[in-house]
Amino acid sequence: MEKAPDDVSNIHNRFSLTLVNPSSHYFSLFVSLGVAAIISLATLLGYFGTNIEETWHVVLAVITVLFLTQLLDTRFTKKKEYSKSLHSSLFANMLWAATVLLGLLASLVLSKEPSLFLITFGMFLFASFRIGIYTTTLGVSIKRAWAICFVQPLAMFLALVPQDQWIPMLSDPLALGYGVSFMIIASVWSILTDRAGRPGMESTHKTIQAYLASQKNDHTEAEEIMEQRSSETKVATSQIRLSPQNGGKEFRMVLPEIHPGPYHPVGGSNIPYLIYKNLSSSAMVMHSISDHALNLPSKNEVENYLKNLENSKIKEEGLQCTEPVTVQINKARVIGLLFGKNPLLFLSLSPHGMEDIPNYMKNEIEQYAKNRNYSKPLIVDCHNAMGEEISNEDGEDMLKAAKSCLDTLITKDSFPIEFGYANSDNMDVWTEDLGMGGLGIVCLKINEKKYFLGWADANNMENGVREKIIDLFAKKDLQLLEICTSDTHYAPVKARNRNGYYQLGLITSADKLAKWFLEIASNAESNTSTAKFEILENETKVKVMGQGIYEDYSRALDNSLKITKVFMIGGVGFFITSLFV
């Protein structure tokens, strides 16, 4: 289980490669038409010496042909997606433009006439690029890619080049030799990268295509691939249910052993919100100590999990709990409360941050609690600051803090519980760094003192935001113990950054978040009433993705990139030789 975060982090780091595509197909459309105009002008003025007045009708013809063939392109793609056709057309046009412009530059440097060979060669490079794009991302076989790769560049070539030059330029042995060589190189590259993940992954390209389709909310293929590799296991879910004695609305704090993910909109990416809604929007769905190996791979498994969550059993109940205990050791902070014999621990390194808390820490804390006659501890990974995998030093400090907190809780007196809960459901708090569950606050009144716990349905928090909000609460004489996030992988908008999401506080200021939290806290405080607690436990058999699938994905990506680097270095070197011909 300890290697999975490394593989997940490696896959996550490769996410930036998906940002190469422009964010809008309109951008690709207009820029590709502009690049086609550059190709036309450079060819006509630089290679053929055409008068400027005679170029415009040719430029217009080339642009028109490009636009029409871009529409035609969609007929050949697996999903018939216009945007992908435009993106591939843009980059292929840029490659052709670079070829003709570098050819002109080389002719100046070498003091020779521009070679018409480079115009034809640029067209072949255009076709070669299309082979790579069509086979990897558009789901076209190599045979079919060869059949259609020339449609767009050849149509542009015929509109651009004078008719009397068609046969000589297209039959040039040098152009054919270089051009066909690059088409073979593109084909070999495609075959090797498709097999890069074997034996664990049969087809790297199908996985890429499924991922890209899921980004258009077509998650069927991605979920099928992931579910095939998933294995059935039992997962636990713990809850603390607070029920008002006056018969009002109950509240639950939920700790699912499953992990949100793998990514929006696939599988259990939005599982915190779905649990929240299933519990009548009166819950905080915390991030337990779990990693991406415990992702639910499909909507079917999500429904199975939610359905079985109704079968939770009461393990303990009572009317009292302790006041909170806070232990800080260097960066590590643990806050604990004791409900009967059940300790509730909140673990955080904020404002320093970390990735998911590893499983070995959970096991050690649970064993320590068992040795001191506690029931099963409920451990929350607050997930409230961005950071890397926890270091050995910080991990040791956190374990010491958790053990010290458990030792102190034994000595604490218990008092009757009063609680109040409120959320942002009736507030206008939509923002790009917040999930569908919004914000929530529970107010605990223990021994005549009020303590607040904050929750956000978000994927982590910007470093230091928690501290700013807590300081603003303190200025109002309110004690906000902690703010936790659900680590949802739901994304209200597609974030075009390296992380692939916006952590809470990156878009919305800490002051604005504090204003919202203070309003919710006021509502929660006004609703406080005497309550009883119940500890609920559930065990459900579901399919989870496991560690192996991430190892295979990570290996396939690494191998594909290594192959690509080798081919790029060789291709660039081969291309440079064409400038001296």
Between 272 and 149, name the one with better pLDDT: 272
Between 83 and 565, name the one with better pLDDT: 565
What percentage of the chain's residues is helix, strand, coil (to nearest 5)?
50, 20, 30
3-state class of 533 per DSSP? strand
Cα–Cα distances in Å, from 47 out to 61, 108, 336? 18, 12, 76
Q: How far is it, in rounded angstroms, from Cα 304 to Cα 307?
A: 5
Per-residue pLDDT, 80 = 65
Per-residue pLDDT tens digits for 77-90: 666 677 777 888 99
CB neighbours (10 Å) of residue 226? 24
Domain positions in the chain: 21-214+551-578, 235-538
What band does 580 get if pLDDT is binned at 50, 70 and 90?
A: confident
Per-residue pLDDT, 332 = 98
At 273, list the tokens.
Answer: 């919100």
Percent of the chain with pLDDT over 70: 96
Q: For 340, left (φ over 0), alpha (ψ -120 to 50), or beta? A: left
Per-residue pLDDT tens digits for 232-247: 999 999 999 999 988 8
Q: What is the mean pLDDT of residues 570-577?
A: 94
Q: What is the mean pLDDT of residues 305-310?
A: 94
Helical segments of 257-317, H only: 271-278, 299-308
What band does 138 get if pLDDT is binned at 50, 70 and 90?
A: confident
Q: How far is it, in rounded angstroms, from Cα 192 to Cα 393?
A: 42
Helical segments of 42-81, H only: 56-73
Per-residue pLDDT, 140 = 87
Between 46 and 76, name the one with better pLDDT: 46
73, 118, 122: which is closest to 93 by C-alpha? 122
Per-residue pLDDT tens digits for 168-188: 999 999 999 999 999 999 999
One-letter amino acid of 238? S
Pairing of strands 313-318, 414-423: unpaired
450, 504, 455: which is closest to 479 by C-alpha? 450
Per-residue pLDDT, 20 = 63
Whether the CB-CB separation of 118 and 174 falls below 8 Å is answered with: no
3-state class of 468 per DSSP? helix
Per-residue pLDDT tens digits for 472-500: 999 999 999 999 999 999 988 888 777 88
Percent of the chain with pLDDT over 90: 78
> How long, in residues, is the chain?
581
Mean pLDDT, the chain, as a whole number?
92
Q: How far is it, in rounded angstroms, from Cα 564 to Cα 570?
A: 10
Omega before residue 262 within 30° of 0, cis: yes
Whether the CB-CB separation of 491 and 215 falls below 8 Å is answered with: no
Q: How far is it, in rounded angstroms, from Cα 357 to Cα 369?
A: 18
Per-residue pLDDT tens digits for 320-377: 999 999 999 999 999 999 999 999 999 999 999 999 999 999 999 999 999 999 999 9
Q: What is the mean pLDDT of residues 221-228?
A: 93
Cα–Cα distances in Å, from 89 out to 5, 28, 136? 37, 8, 15
Per-residue pLDDT tens digits for 503-529: 999 999 999 999 999 999 999 999 999
For residue 4, pLDDT beyond 60: no
Whether the CB-CB separation of 77 and 134 falls below 8 Å is answered with: yes
Per-residue pLDDT tens digits for 247-268: 889 999 999 999 999 989 999 9
What dihedral do alpha carbons 51, 57, 58, 61 form, nearest 10°?
170
Instruction: Give burial (CB, 10 Å; 0-12/13-18/19+) of 389.
Output: middle
Per-residue pLDDT, 3 = 38
Per-residue pLDDT, 436 = 97
What band does 52 get if pLDDT is binned at 50, 70 and 90?
A: confident
Per-residue pLDDT, 2 = 38
All residues at 6 or more sequence positions from 126 whose CB lies less than 8 Å from its CB, including other chains: 92, 93, 95, 96, 152, 153
For residue 530, pLDDT beyond 90: yes
Helical segments of 412-509, H only: 465-474
Q: What is the mean pLDDT of residues 25-52?
A: 92
What band does 16 get if pLDDT is binned at 50, 70 and 90?
A: low
For residue 17, pLDDT beyond 70: no
Per-residue pLDDT tens digits for 56-105: 999 999 999 999 998 888 777 666 677 777 888 999 999 999 999 999 99
Q: How far is it, in rounded angstroms, from Cα 437 to Cα 284?
A: 9
Whether the CB-CB separation of 455 and 427 falls below 8 Å is answered with: no
